[in-house]
Amino acid sequence: MRTRLDPAVLRLAGILLLGVLAPLLDSTIVNVAIDTLGRDLGVPVSDENWRATFLDSIAIAVGRADKGVHHFSMPWW
């Protein structure tokens, strides 16, 4: 017999999912536009490189956070 999840739990899961995906999407958009932003703002390439590295590290950290969540939390399904 399957039990249904409470709608509040589903809503919370959706909000948390958006919270995880928003930084990934943001870093993707900025990485694509970083060359144009650097040219428009007159920033040297060396400054653009550390920004791209910083955004990539955030994207990796958010992706790896999933392992920590599953390791330290009780399964609720």
Contact 62, 20 (CB under 8 A): yes
What is residue 6's DSSP assignment?
P
Domain of residue 44, residue span: 22-71
Mean pLDDT of all residues in 53-77: 69
Evaluate whether residue 53 is within a structural domain. Answer: yes
Evaluate whether residue 5 is within a structural domain. Answer: no
Evaluate whether residue 17 is within a structural domain. Answer: no
Residue 15 has pLDDT above 80, yes or no: yes
pTM score, whole prediction: 0.41
Please count the structural domains in the chain: 1
Amino acid at 40: D
Q: Report the Cα 9 to chain-centroid distance in Å.
A: 21
In percent, the amount of the chain with pLDDT more than 70 equals 78
The number of helices, as runs of H, and strands, as runs of E, in the chain is: 2, 0
Evaluate whether residue 4 is within a structural domain. Answer: no
Evaluate whether residue 49 is within a structural domain. Answer: yes
Evaluate whether residue 10 is within a structural domain. Answer: no
Residue 76 has pLDDT above 60, yes or no: no
Evaluate whether residue 6 is within a structural domain. Answer: no
Top-confidence residue, 31 or 74: 31
Residue 75 has pLDDT above 70, yes or no: no
Evaluate whether residue 29 is within a structural domain. Answer: yes
